[in-house]
Amino acid sequence: MTTSWEPNARQLRSFYQLIANHFLIVITLPLVTTIIIAIWPGADKILVLPLAIRPVHLFLATFVPTATITVYLILRPRDVYLVNYACFRPDSNWRMPLASYIEHARLMHFNDKHISQFVARVLERSGFGNETSVPPSFHYMLPLFGLDKTRLEAEQVIFRTIDDLLSKTCISPHAIDMLIVNCSIFNPTPSLADMIVRRYRLRGDIHSIQLSGMGCSAGLIAVGLATSLLQTAPFGAHALVVSTELFTGGYYKGSKLAMHMTNILFRTGGAAVLLSTSKAKARFQLMHVVRTSTSAQDNAYKSVIYEEDEEGNRGVNLSKDIMAIAGKALKANITTIGPLVLPASEKLSYFLSLIARKMLSGRTTLYIPDFRLAFDHFCIHAGGRAVIDAVQSSLNLSDEHVEPSRMTLHRFGNTSSSTLWYELAYSEAKGRIKKGGRVWMIGFGSGYKCISAVWKCIKPVQDVDRAWENCINRYPVHIPKGKKV
Ligand SMILES: *[C@@H]1O[C@H](CO)[C@@H](O)[C@H](O)[C@H]1NC(C)=O
Ligand SMILES: CC(=O)N[C@H]1CO[C@H](CO)[C@@H](O)[C@@H]1O
């Protein structure tokens, strides 16, 4: 196993740079402390008492620890907090009942029965309810692909979500120092980030970034990026992360079944998240972000790919091995996150079983750590029912643990990178997240990538997010077990 604790040349150089940059403070702070102690009235008495103590000893005894603590404080990465978040609730006329979707597929592909049958089969087992929504342009037959329509949708989804967030946090748009927008398929010029800067008249010196082509895991990638930026910015800076997917341009109109999957499961959604290094108004603390990319392997790289079929129709092609690939990425990341979060007893059990396995040359089964001891709540990317089922069985989670994910899938469908926030909002709307509660968000996405984020609740809320406001009382609903999709 490689450990990240071995310092390499680069780390040593940046350590040296840090010390050099903070030279004044590293030297003066301990020096001043030492002097204050030395000239303190009565200090001479202490000096006289044990004769062995000479001023030089006293100097060392105070200077060295203070210098160490100062260096530690400088090097320690700053804590990052979640101030608040908001999820998009589509208008009721964006709703796409399953029967309408199937009807559309039947009419659009009237000369190929297989497609509408496939659509019906997938939807039947999808775990979707009748309230999931698609943008207005999707309601046409064929859907409208125009840039102006998609821009309009982008504005509706993004602005409404940010408006909600700003009213929840009571933060002025001028306090935002960084803006990261992620949207995989739709990447216009000027970017979605510019669109937001224009609408809210954000500051001229804002760091604005748009992440595209990063798939469903981009929401947590954006959180990770915002965290790194915040840790280098002055204390108390704010980062706004907007996660959405505008799939209109990616709609597949050909006849290849595998490429219809994403059409069928994609639904509209979005989330806006405000992060900061100041704890003042914070609701959650970010404990860890861990990422795994398996893109170096060919089959993982090609598992979710936006491409053209033989007839030149563009669409997202989902590989048949997608679940196996997701499982591998998850396993890799669990091995990394385990040591960071698990209690000592679980780590020990795992370690012992690992030794037993080595000594008996693989004849015993490896102990699966009980992640329920490390987390109270789980938000699993609701890309489809199969993803949730696979994570539930591999982590040995109860039905209640995966309830937020299943209910999000039922109410909102696969909203790509924003699903995790709908799930957090669900658990909060149900009043389940208490102070100190730990939440594990697990995102998956093309590449293939698996990204985890761990949050600790600081301040639970009573008010329900707009997304769940008018329907939370109807949940949880029973989802009939069909064959998995
Ligand atoms: C969910 O939607 C995203 C974005 O449209 C897509 O890339 C992804 O493949 C979908 N997931 C599944 C399992 O269809
Ligand atoms: C096996 C593997 O790829 N594990 C990775 C999981 O994520 C961490 C943190 O990013 C990586 O350091 C590991 O290599």
Q: For 166-179, what is each residue's pLDDT tens digit?
A: 999 999 999 999 99
Residues above pLDDT 90, as percent of the chain: 55
Instruction: Calculate how far, in angstroms, residue 379's C-alpha sits from the geometric centre of ligand 1.
Output: 17
Do 101 and 68 fall within a single domain? Answer: no
Q: Let me know: does 79 contact 285? Beta carbons within 8 Å.
A: yes
User: Poorest-confidence range of 73-82, 103-112, 149-158, 221-230?
Assistant: 73-82
Query: How confident is the model over 236-243, as a mean pLDDT?
Result: 96
- Does pLDDT of 446 surpass 50? yes
- Does pLDDT of 4 surpass 50? no
Tokens found for residue 139: 């309601």
Do 394 and 317 fall within a single domain? Answer: yes
* Torsion-angle region of 170 (φ positive above 0: left; ψ -120 to 50: alpha; else: beta): left
In a domain, 39, yes or no: yes
Number of H helices, E strands in the chain: 17, 11
**Secondary structure element (H or E) that encloses residue 449, with its range:** strand 449-457
Do 131 and 206 fall within a single domain? Answer: yes
For residue 51, what pLDDT band results from cuts at 50, 70 and 90? low
Do 61 and 122 fall within a single domain? Answer: no
- Model confidence, pTM: 0.85
Ligand 2 probe mutation, 292, 294, 330, 448, most atoms within 8 A of CB: 292
Nearest residue by C-alpha to atom 2 in ligand 2: 332
Nearest to 251 by CA among 237, 241, 261: 261
For residue 203, what pLDDT band results from cuts at 50, 70 and 90? very high
Nearest residue by C-alpha to atom 14 in ligand 1: 262
For residue 65, what pLDDT band results from cuts at 50, 70 and 90? confident
Q: Which residues line ligand 2 (CB under 6 A)?
A: 290-292, 332-333, 335-336
Q: What are phi and psi of 395, to 5 degrees?
A: -100, 0
Do 350 and 289 fall within a single domain? Answer: yes
Instruction: Calculate how far, in angstroms, residue 397's C-alpha sits from the geometric centre of ligand 1.
Output: 24
Residues above pLDDT 70, as percent of the chain: 91
Q: Let me know: does 329 contact 270? Beta carbons within 8 Å.
A: no
Structural domain range at position 59? 6-75
Query: How confident is the model over 440-469, as a mean pLDDT?
Result: 92
Q: How many domains does the chain have?
A: 2
More confident residue, 195 or 390: 195
CA distance 448 to 217: 9
- Does pLDDT of 44 surpass 70? no
Q: Which residue bears the tokens 């795994």?
A: 292
Instruction: Calculate how far, in angstroms, residue 292's C-alpha sits from the geometric centre of ligand 2.
Output: 5
Query: How confident is the model over 129-141, as a mean pLDDT?
Result: 91
Q: What is the pLDDT of residue 28?
A: 78
Nearest residue by C-alpha to atom 14 in ligand 2: 292
CA distance 115 to 121: 10
In a domain, 314, yes or no: yes
Nearest to 282 by CA among 78, 459, 440, 456: 459
Give how far Cα 480 sits from Cα of 118, 211, 394, Å.
19, 37, 21
In a domain, 36, yes or no: yes
Q: Let me know: does 267 contact 98? Beta carbons within 8 Å.
A: no
CA distance 481 to 185: 32
CA distance 351 to 338: 12
In a domain, 484, yes or no: no
Instruction: Calculate how far, in angstroms, residue 325's C-alpha sits from the geometric centre of ligand 1.
Output: 15
Do 90 and 56 fall within a single domain? Answer: no
Q: Let me know: does 127 contact 410? Beta carbons within 8 Å.
A: yes
Instruction: Calculate how far, in angstroms, residue 254's C-alpha sits from the geometric centre of ligand 1.
Output: 17
Give how far Cα 52 sits from Cα of 38, 43, 419, Å.
16, 15, 67
Q: Which atom of ligand 2 is nearest to the CA of 331?
A: 1
> Facing residues of 439 across strands?
377, 455
